[in-house]
Structure 1
Amino acid sequence: MSTEPETTEEAGPGTPDTPRAAGRETAPGEDRAQGRAADGDTAEGPVAAGASEAAAGKTVETEGTEGTEAADGTEGTEGADGTDGERDADGADRAESARSATAGSPEGTEAAERSEVTASPQGDGAGVEPEVTASPQGAEAAVEPEVSASPEGAEAGGGAEVSASPEGGGGAEVSEAEAELAAQRVERERIERRKAERKGPIDSGAKLSGTAADLLAAVRAVESGEKPVATVFAEPAPAPRRPAPEPVRRPAPAPVAAGGPAPRTVEAVGRVLTEGGAPDALAPQVAAVLGEGADTALREDPWQLLRVGGVRPEQADGFARALLGAACGPDDERRGRAMTVWLLEQAAVAGHTALELPTLTAALGRQGVPDPDAAVQGTLAEAEALVFQDALEEPGAPVPGDTEDTGDTEEEQERPVRVLVGLERYALAEESLADGLARLVNSVPQEAGQAWEAAAAGVSGGAAELARAVAGHGLVLHTGGEAARAEPAALLGAARAAGLRAFAVCHTPDGRRRLAAQLGGDLAEQGVGTVAGLLSGAEGPGRDADGALELDLLIVLDAPQLDVEGAAMLVESLPDGARLVLSGDPGVLWSAGPGRVFADLVAARVCPQAVSRVPDPGPIGELVSGIGIGELNQVAAPGKEIVIVPVRDAAEAVHRTVQLVVDSVPRAIGVPADQTVVITPGHGGAAGTRALNSALKERLNPGPGRFGGFDPGDRVAYSPAPGRTVPGVVLKADADGLHLSCAGVPVVVPRERVEGGVRHGWAITAHQAVGARWPAAVVVLPGDAAATLSRSWVYTAFGRAERHLSVVHGVEQALPRAVAEIAPKPRTTRLRTLLRPQAT
């Protein structure tokens, strides 16, 4: 493992210089000899020289970018405010007319007509400033229009093209005096016509301001000889535009049902919210959660506002005080019930499906509820929560039915129990999951059948052991690392070859892609999907008349990411006699939703378990395997597969991370920035995802964040549902919302969901990265993250890298201590207890 970081100090994008585009310059003195105005204006020779410099497409080099000069918001041309080599609109007409008459060309007057431009205060010739986005490859316009320089000259912003004749005068038969008189006549006619049109004299340059006025002053300074052309037009490079920082995300609002609540209901709820001092923007969410009559329910029980996602207890208390006045108090039973439900919801966010009664009452006391027991009883009486008594599984505990001889009587010994309180949705999901698993286990025929025997005979090694277990059992667990995915993939191919209806699902689109790459051919197209796609009907074999999936075998990879609700829906969808294989790495982080289904099944020992013996290859595989058993080993990395970058503080961690992603990893490892992921413990803090994404956006895709903080080309992490994260790239935005490309699939995020559902995605958390892998990963461990580390977090984060892993290390001894000692935070669930009667 190398501790020498492959970095370049303060390395920028470093694009090579581009030679200036060449355009034809007007011959010296040519315009001075040709372009005198009748009213005594000075010669236009130097001004034409300035125009030719603009026509040459003069470039400037800025740090990290190369492109055309755009100091005033335009691309490719100097003087885009209407003074592109001429004084102003009137001066341009006079100078061009004089040159056209001198040249003796009838097209000259037409060119003069075409070349009229109107100056704007913004100085872009059209009154709209184009947004320019710099990238490592060069200056690229984020939006149209694009202006390009050509060898023939720069294109004018208004579409007019002015070309100088290479012959100069062009009309040899006309004397210089006659040409001068003709020019004076044409100019007088034009001046009179323009005066008549505008009904007043024109003060040349009087209406210009800002950049346009500065350029006009520069032109006149050149004409008078006060300054040379080179010093006037050598403008400094524009300051780089800093990207808009990623906004601080508020908790996502509760999803609104399709079609939304009735407008009349929303309006009524809005009036109640306004009366209580709450923002009326919450009205649609409140109406969706509370349903018809939401305004009446909210007025009768203001603490119902806590049911809306993101609302805190102190906010609900303030709303209640505003509505109830003196009748509001901490001992209000309505407050006690609402706080109980809110605490159970927060426990579900943390992964618990229920809470032990002492834990719940203690939490209620911390929220200022005077009588927590009464609050819980009131919640149970209103059927807003359920209570359970689960027998404890303690060593040496008496078993029901055991008796103790006390002389004349026998008293039945009571088995100790724990009292749990949970929300109905999670309690029913956990019970439904246990019933469905029991049905699968008990519905498999005693004999496997010829098809299953053929499937087992078609594979070898660990896959054969897995196939034999599946042939005789309805539920089988399979454990192993990334390399072990080859075994369920082989089982899938053998089962389909034997004529069985088999299908495999993964947790993420990236997991599906990797599994499909192992399978190849039609099998990858027809036999692989995602959990969400299968449940929604977008992927998979479809359902029969009873609503069951038409499957003989379902293989679920990334099984540790299944929460109780998702797992219950999968199991309920399988027909009797079908086989279910749950495969995954037990060392990774558990599901984002409530429950720990895979870990509970492994601990319950209710079905066969096939343990893969295939190790993950390479130095990264060796390092991750050691972490899985609690050892942080020194690993040889001759190809710089693992690099440790020590840092002193969070600011240095951000700097080194950007340096690795933008320069060091692409140069030394050959992995581009768009194939490198940054993983950090949390969203907040000086080195959280917000700070890292802001710094990475500035280097990789700078822009003003025109679409709710996002620009085209931004990498994002999109959460279509709680607990699911899909990486994507911003394409555009319009009235429909933000358009993304997620795993090659176009996605439109409605405008109201952008803030809660989309984040910048150069840097993500380990929970968001579960189920996906990247060619290179940079794991950031700032000093303030030491308390959040655990073995499963480190195992998950380090295991996201395929070819290269860089660790920005600022936690010192906290890292080996976390690997050796800190287990995942326990979750309170009931599945193992519900499965216990099935154990043999």
Structure 2
Amino acid sequence: MSTEPEPTEETEPQSPGTAKDADADDAEAGAAVPGDGAETPAVAEGDSDEAAGEASASDSEQGEAAAKLSEAAAELAAQKLERERIARRKAEKQGPVEAGAKLSGKAADLLAAVRAVESGDKPAATVFAEPEPPRRSAPEPVQRPRPVTADAPPAPAAQTVESVRRVLADGGAPEALVPQVAALGEGAAGRLREDPWQLLRVAGVRPEQADGFARALLGTECGPDDERRGRAVTVWLLEQAAVAGHTALELPTLTAALGKQGVPDADAAVQSTLTEAEALVFQDALDPRAPEPEEGEERPVRVLVGLERYAMAEESLADGLARLINSVPKQDGSAEDWERAADSAQGSAGELIRAVAGHGLVLHTGAEASLAEPAALLHAARELGLRAWATAHGPLGRDRFAALASGDTATTVTGLLSGTEGPGRDADGALDLDLLVVLDAPQLDVESAALLTESLPDGARLVLAGDPAVLWSAGPGRVFGDLLAARVCPQIASRRPDPGPLGELVSGIGIGELNQVEAPGKEVVIVPARDAGEAVHRTVQLVADSVPRAIGVPPEATQVITPGHGGAAGTRALNAALKERLNPGPGRFGGFDPGDRIAYSPTPGRTVSGHVVKADAEGLHLTCAGKSVVVPKERVEDSVRHGWALTAHQAAGGRWPAVVVVLPGDATQALTRPWVYTAFSRAERHLSVVQGADQALPRAVAEIPAKPRTTRLPVLLATQVPTPS
């Protein structure tokens, strides 16, 4: 396939250029292929700009202490309460999951959150040949009169901080690690002296660094066969697997990874880790629905090892889903009423309404145009008297759906769980609703999905809706994909295609074809770039000049998407160039100036877009999703970054009038079909592709699907849900 003539220096979008044909020569196919969720370019940079953090909400006008709690604290409190509820449910079962973490309380919660944070310098998931999954683009919730309240985690005691500082200094570790280690709680310094490899519990620390720390503290007693080292590296590998999307690892995979980390007896290291209850072991049948074996025969199984956090979440999710599937939904409205509502809807929207009428769990698949069908369902359910709500991955998705459904019907997942948006909870702690439609369902990881399903009251209906072709969640699991494959409930596929040249292009990508499309309105334009420097230059021209002039979309409504944060054309380089052009300034407050476009992380692994308003003694004042937020000075570096350019995972769940996708040559290993599909489908009216990837782009679309993830949800469901007829 050919492209249009190369644009002039002004990079004015000339005509409907397209990417090269997927059938073109792919002699370069020998390059290493990373997995789904790739967001790491070939060149990584050394700063970590996605560290975990909580931010204080802007509430200077409210005098009560409860109102001063941050949205991060509210969310963490809601999750803690819900996990306690899950734990109680697990305790009622005959075979509960054993406790598997030595730390407890707020220190353990914070540590678990820190581990999941994306690190800009050393992508953890590369241990398993899969680039780091970036953060989920989740919103900052809208304040409601009934927020979940809890005390924010207290700062470590001065004595704890000082003792941690001393032990780190003795081991030659950097001063910068003091806050993270001190956050592990009282006695952290003593535990670290006793077992120096516990330093691996700090985000960004790798085994070779922990080994150097241990040698400095232990001297000749330090060795690669130390049992403490084997346990710490085992837990570290399981954490890295979670960052890569796995909820557990098969035992041979884990032992092989331990060998690569210099653990001489991998089997002994795993056994020690299990004995100390720092991990759990599972034996899952390869075919859980197969008949019981004959006497004397053994059922084929696979042995997996995982962390309690994700094992508990996945088992709780399976429990909640089975409860929905096996129960009879609350009878709101007669069968005739539901049938009339289905008849009045068009096409597959009617099928969706009929399926929801008689089932507790329904899956709905489709692209952007298919959102009209959940909107029709919500309208019909409310007409029948149901307390029906929808929840979306981020504020952009929430607002887009609310415009379709009309009225106060949509929330964000974060806001719904924290109680700051939506119906709130009933006296039993369950969500006060009868029907919940979860949009952007592929973005649900096992923990979020478990919290949602366990929060539903008995008799409620759950609809998971989304586009199965987009990137999976940044967190562990592939909930939507596992449910689609398990076929344990009705699945309604929308027959509404996305319209226009963009819809045609994206639909082709979804089936592995990068087709030429006719774009008379310059809906799709290809801008060649010889190298990363030219890619940055042309991107700035497109956002600042060409797209506003030729398409009529202003810079603030154009989103740049690129595969990674580092590299010569990653988000850092692009954001620096775009700031210089669109909002130059001295950056006196942590590199930011009023008017800067930002990406803010109120909690670990979550992002919401916004703008800088001002900076003063209180901190950096932002406006995010229509809310005012104040980020204290000490949190700015960890939780705020410029946001003209995002990764595809950060952009998932959002759509913009114009999108510029930058594909530099040094990031071709990050390209997969889901990545390209997600990035290209974020555009509503116009898509510019700054193409420096050459044949890597059509090859990724044609040949590189999503990388499999190791999960237990299908097996767990198979043991609790009757075999589909």
Shared fold, TM over 0.5: yes
How far apart, CA to CA, are the structure 2 residues paired with 1:580 and 1:6?
Answer: 49
Aligned with residue 219 of structure 2, among 314, 318, 325: 325
Q: Is residue 11–residue 538 contact of structure 2 (8 Å, CA) maintained in 1?
A: no
- Tell me whether 1:431 sits opposite 2:230 in the alignment: no
Taking a change above 3 Å as real, the CA distance of residues 381 and 326 of structure 1, as seen in their structure-2 partners, is same
2:479 is the alignment partner of 1:603? no
CA displacement 1:777-827 (0-9 Å, x = unmatched):
111111122222111000000001000001111122221111111011111
Within 2, Cα distance between the matches of 1:623 and 1:663? 25
* Distance in 1 between residues matched to 2:401 and 2:702, nearest whole Å: 32
Cα contact 1:448–1:471 (8 A) shared by 2: no
1: CA distance, partners of 2:170 / 2:323: 53
Q: What letter is aligned with 2:299?
A: R
- Residue number among 602, 607, 611 corresponding to 1:725 in the alignment: 607
- Identify which of 559, 562, 566 aligns with 1:684: 566
Q: Counterpart in 2 of 1:86?
A: none
Shift of residue 3, structure 1, vs aligned partner = 2.2
Q: Does 1:567 align with 2:449?
A: yes
Cα distance between partner residues in 2 of 1:706 and 1:421: 48
Distance 1:602 1:723 in 2: 26
Amino acid at match of 1:306: L
User: Residue 268 of structure 1 is aligned with which of 163, 180, 189?
Assistant: 163
**Which residue of structure 1 aligns with residue 305 of structure 2?**
421
C-alpha distance 724-454 of structure 1, shift in aligned 2 (>3 A): farther
Deviation per CA, 1:647-686, whole angstroms, max 9, x where unpaired? 2111111111111111111111111111111111111111
- The match for 2:364 is 478
1:362 corresponds to 2:256: yes
Is the aligned partner of 1:282 residue 2:177?
Answer: yes
Q: Distance in 1 between matches of 2:426 and 2:543?
A: 49
SS of residue in 2 equivalent to 1:694: helix
Q: Which residue of the partner structure matches residue 277 of structure 2?
A: 383
Structure 1 residues 695 and 834: CA distance shift in structure 2, 3 A: same
Q: What's the offset of the Cα at 1:273?
A: 1.7
Q: 1:631 aligns with which of 498, 513, 516?
A: 513
Q: How does 1:198-597 map to 2 (within 5 A)?
A: 248-249=47-48, 252=51, 258-289=153-184, 291-393=185-287, 399-403=290-294, 412-445=296-329, 449-450=333-334, 452=338, 455-456=341-342, 459-520=345-406, 523=407, 526-597=408-479
Alignment map for 1:97-246 (pairs within 5 Å)? none
Whole-angstrom CA distance in 1 between matches of 2:710 and 2:321 = 20
- Residues 480 and 611, structure 1, Cα contact 8 Å, conserved in 2: yes
After superposition, the C-alpha distances for 1:264-286 in whole angstroms (9 at most, x for unaligned) are: 22222222222222234433322
Equivalent pair of 2:247/2:712 in contact (CA under 8 Å):
yes
Between the two proteins, the alignment pairs up a number of residues equal to 591
Range with greater deviation from structure 2 (674-683 or 271-280): 271-280
1:773 aligns with 2:658: no
Please identify the structure whose Cα radius of gyration is greater: 1
Q: Is the 8 A contact 2:11 2:546 kept in 1?
A: no
Sort the Cα spacing of 1:490 and 1:250 in 2 relative to 1 into closer, same or farther, 3 A.
closer
CA contact (8 A) 2:561 2:679 kept: yes
1:799 and 1:252 map into 2 onto residues whose CA distance is: 28
Deviation at 1:453, TM superposition (A): 5.1
Q: Which residue of 1 aligns with 2:679?
A: 797
TM-fit CA distance, 1:10? 8.8
Residues 705 and 785 of structure 1: is their aligned pair in 2 closer, same or farther, counting only changes over 3 Å? same
More displaced stretch, 252-261 vs 585-594: 252-261
Aligned to 1:236: none
Q: How far has the Cα of 1:4 moved from its partner?
A: 4.2
Deviates more, 1:689-698 or 1:374-383: 689-698
Report how far residue 695 of structure 1 moved. 1.1
Partner Cα distance (2:549, 2:50) in 1: 39
Deviations 1:504-557 (A, max 9, x none): 10001000111111123xx2xx21110000000001111111101111100000
> Shift of the alpha carbon at 1:632?
0.7
Identity among equivalent positions (%) equals 76
Normalised by the length of structure 2, the TM-score is: 0.79
SS in 2 for 1:412: coil
* Preserved contact between residue 442 and residue 467 of structure 2 (Cα < 8 Å): yes
Q: State how 1:786-825 maps to structure 2 within 5 Å.
A: 786-825=668-707
Tell me the distance in 1 between the aligned counterparts of 2:256 and 2:215: 25
State the distance in 2 between where 1:495 and 1:353 align.
Answer: 35
Match of 2:540 among 640, 654, 658: 658
Residue 249 of structure 1, CA deviation: 2.7
> Could you give the per-residue CA deviations for residues 714-768 of structure 1, whole angstroms, max 9, x where no partner exists?
1111122333221111112223322211121112223333222222111111111
| Ranges of 4+ aligned residues in structure 1 off by more than 6 Å | none
**2:293·2:299 contact (CA, 8 Å) conserved in 1?**
no
Q: What is the CA–CA distance in structure 2 between the aligned matches of 1:2 and 1:371, rounded to whole Å?
A: 56
Task: Please report the TM-score for the alignment, with normalisation by the length of structure 1.
Answer: 0.68
The amino acid that maps onto 1:375 is A
Report the secondary structure of 1:339's partner residue.
helix
Q: Supply the distance in 1 between the matched residues of 2:672 and 2:459 (Cα, whole angstroms).
A: 40
Please report the RMSD computed on the Cα atoms of aligned residues, expressed in angstroms: 2.1
How far residue 447 of structure 1 moved from its aligned partner, in angstroms, is 6.4
Per the alignment, in what secondary structure is the counterpart of residue 487 of structure 1? Answer: helix
Cα distance 1:824–1:730, how it changes in 2: closer, same or farther (>3 A)?
same
**In 2, Cα distance between equivalents of 1:698 and 1:655:** 12
1:721 counterpart SS class: coil
> Aligned to 1:720, what secondary structure does the other structure show?
coil
| Contact kept? 1:260, 1:284, Cα under 8 Å | no
Per the TM alignment, residue 5 of structure 1 is displaced from its structure 2 partner at its CA by: 5.8
Q: CA deviation at 1:402?
A: 4.2
Higher relative contact order, structure no. (Cα contacts within 8 Å, ≥ 6 residues apart): 2
Letter in 2 for 1:401: E
Counterparts of 1:384 and 1:302 in 2: how far apart (Å)?
Answer: 16
Cα deviation, residue 262, structure 1: 2.6
User: Quick one: structure 1 residues 346 and 247, their matched pair in 2 at CA, closer, same or farther if it must change by over 3 Å?
Assistant: closer
1:8 Cα offset (Å): 4.7
Residue 7 of structure 1, CA deviation: 4.9
In structure 1, how many angstroms separate the alpha carbons of the residues matched to 2:10 and 2:574? 18
